[in-house]
Structure formats: structure tokens, C-alpha cells
Chain A
Amino acid sequence: MGKRNNAMDPAGPVSHRVMPMGALFLLIALALVSCRGGRTERPPIHLNPNMMNQARYNPQTLSRNPPDGVVAFGRDARADGVGRADLLKEGPAQTGRDASGKWVARIPAAVTGDFINRGRERFDIHCAVCHGETGSGKTVLTEKGLPPPTALIDARVVAMADGEIFGIITAGARNMAGLGKRIPAEDRWAIVAYVRALQAARRGVPADLSDSQRGALP
């Protein structure tokens, strides 16, 4: 009719003005809520830092130079990787060599199923990265430039004394760094046991088995 309805406010009823405002407010609130715990390079802010940072040295933080007249003593004090606990009772189980300096032929520990399983776990952690889970020496790293590591199932390794394999794990060989600092001696022997198990699994022949075991073969 061309005549304005006087009951209508020019900007529309109140509810029409409040609705977009409310929606906008809700959107802002939602956007803010999603900000919680977002990625930031800035360190956390602590409003009440009481005693959070105490006057002490935490592990693996930079320390001052040692005071005069003090000698370093600890697992890593010796450069050849023989740890402190090993130093206190140096013997074939810590060095892999017998009294005459020859590699010990057999693992100086009881080789049980648990021991070999422990060796498997440690092998998969520390060795499999380069030598492969089966000890084949073939991994993706050789494609990335790593010189091919020794295949642990090679006849050369099979012929080694247990002590020699232990010695190589401890001090390294060729391009391999020694792991003596990183793996306790007992675990290194367990790894030797598992390497022997890998070799047996790969190179074994039916003649290695007892009669009853052979009978169980499929």
C-alpha cells in the first residue's frame, strides 16, 4: 500500500537486531575456546613460579667446570666405554676376554629362553636399525648412504667366539660405533645369545635337531 507500518522500527524488531549480535558473540567465543593449548614457540608463562627453578643442577644441563682437585668418576669416565659398575668387577663378563686375553668362547651366563628373549628385545632396539631385524644387514639406511653393515648370519660371524661378538658390540668395529656406554654388559651378552639364535634360524639344517624335534617338523 506504500504506507509504512508504524509499529515496525526502521531497523526491524528488537529480536532481529539482537540475533546477529548474539551469533557474532557466540562465534567469537567459539573461536577463542578453540585457541586453548595451541602451538606456540614461546615458553610457558608461570604466574606463580615459586621454587619451580631451584638453585641446583638438573640432569643433562650445562654445569660449571669441575672444582680443582676433583676427578671425574662415573659410567662415562672411561673413554673405552667400560662402565663404572664394570670397572669394579672386571672379568670375562665385562670385557669378553679371559685371563690370558683371548676372547671367551661361550657366553658367561645361563642362556635361557628369557635370556634370549631379552636379547631379542635389546637387539631390536639397538642393532636392528642398521643390521636389520633378521641380521641380514639389509635396511633402508644402506640406500641412504650407510656403508652396508656386516650380515650377522655370515659364516665369518658364525665362526667368531662369543666374546669377540661381545667385544665388537662394546667397542665397535669398522664403521660401527661402540655401544658399550649405551647397553649394560648383561644385555650385550643377551644380544650375543640372540645373534646366535638368528644364525641358527637362518643357517640351521635338520641335522642340528634332536630326533624328537625332527619328528615334529611338518
Chain B
Amino acid sequence: MVFPGFMNKVPMAVLAGALGLGAALTAAIWYWGGPKHTEVGYSPKQPIPFSHRVHAGDLGMDCRFCHNTVERTAVAPLPSGESCMSCHAFVKKDSEGVKRLAAAVAKNEAIPWVRVHRLPDYARFHHGVHVQAGVSCLSCHGRIDQMTQVRQVEPLSMSWCLDCHRKPEAQLRPAHLITRLDAVIPDPVATGRRIMESRHLKPSTDCSACHQ
């Protein structure tokens, strides 16, 4: 006898081990390899620590005060430094961040804000169309009004977009509640269905809707 008896078990053990490892690896890549892990949670430090919690939450400023063309244009714009200074020329003008802001505005320099929500360049998203349809900021950006440092909460992946394009009811709101992130919609699906009918909404699931 050349091999000891336990060697009989080795092929099976190797096979079971390889299968187990393969399954574990597949599961890990499936779970952590996609946008639900790689995109969600991104919360970069900004050059000036601007708090949405203070401005949109505590002060109750409407999202559209700063992101003013979001109802009409593809992009929800960042406000100009002058917009900030219309208040911060007086309020909290001794804080470190406001001083840096004022210096940048005086020199007509751009503030290098770090983008949080970013779609690939081959996907086109139009903010105006979605806001006009009744999709709240909340659906894609979460409770921004509670975030001190903005954090991505949705994967913004293609399957996630399509989930809503196929079943948009629960994400649609009456126009006056679009930017009210704390609003509770009593029967969201029935409300959404009414909005879909009245505005003749038919979200496209064609490739060319987003990949133009």
C-alpha cells in the first residue's frame, strides 16, 4: 500500500473545498461587487463644510433656492458663490468656511466642490423631466435635509433606474410636495397611479431613453 487510508478522502475534500470557495467567492462578488456597495455610502469631504442639515433641514430652505433650475434643466445646478454671500455677508461671517467662501467669491474663483452623485458619461439623466413627472428629490438622494455631509444612499445603477421606470407609482408625488422631504404621502401607490394617469406618464424602458 503506497498511500495511507485517509488519502481516499482527499479528492472529495479538494472538490468540496473548491466548490465551497467558489460559492463563497461568487456570493462575495455578487454582494459587494455591485453599486449597492461600491457606490452607496460615498460621502466625500467637501472643501467647505456645507451642511444640508442646517440649510435645508433646520432653516427649511427649499431645495430650489440653490438648485434653482432643477425643474427645467437636465442638471440641478450648484449655486453661485454670490448666492451664498447674499446671506453669509452677514450671517456667520467669522467662520472659517465662510471666510474661505468670501475669499473665493472676491477672487472670482470656483470652489472645488466634490461631486457625490455621478452617473457614467454614457447615461443621460434629465432632472427637469423627472421633477415635472412628480419624482421627489427624496427618491434618488434620500433625506438630504438630515445630512451634515452629503452621502449617496441609492446605487444609481441601471437596474435601479429600470425598477422605477417599470413601476414608478410609489415614487410620484403631487407637485407641491416634491421638495418636502419629510412629507408623508398617505397612499403612495394610489396617489402615484392618479398622477400617472393625469399626466399621461409612460416611463420609457428603451435603451435610447438614457443612452442617447
Contact = CB atoms under 8 A, between A and B. Distances in A.
The B interface is mostly helix, strand or loop, or mixed, namely: loop
A51 B122 contact: yes
B212 interface: no
Given A39-B41, A60-B75, A129-B65, A176 B86 contact: yes
B141 interface: no
Interface in B46-73: 59, 61-62, 64-65, 68
A158 interface: no
A151 B82 CA distance: 23
Given A41-B44, A59-B75, A177-B83, A182 B92 contact: no
A190 B42 CA distance: 40
B169 interface: no
A80 B120 CA distance: 36
Interface string A94-138: 000000000000000000000000000100111001100000000
A125 B42 contact: no
- The size class of the interface chain B forms with chain A is 35 or more
A46 to B, nearest CB: 7
B42 A40 contact: yes
Interface-central residue, A56, A124, A140, by most chain B CB under 10 Å? A124
Nearest to B38: A44
Contacts of B35: 44
A36 B110 contact: no
Contacts of B122: 51-52, 54
A60 B87 CA distance: 23
A43 interface: yes
B85 interface: yes
B206 interface: no
B62 A182 contact: no
Interface string A28-64: 0000010111111111111100011110101110100
19 contacts: A35-B32, A41-B43, A44-B42, A51-B121, A54-B121, A59-B74, A59-B75, A125-B62, A125-B64, A126-B68, A130-B87, A140-B59, A141-B87, A144-B92, A145-B92, A145-B93, A146-B87, A146-B91, A177-B82
Interface of B: 31-33, 35-45, 59, 61-62, 64-65, 68, 74-75, 77-78, 80, 82-83, 85-87, 89-93, 110, 112, 120-122, 151, 176
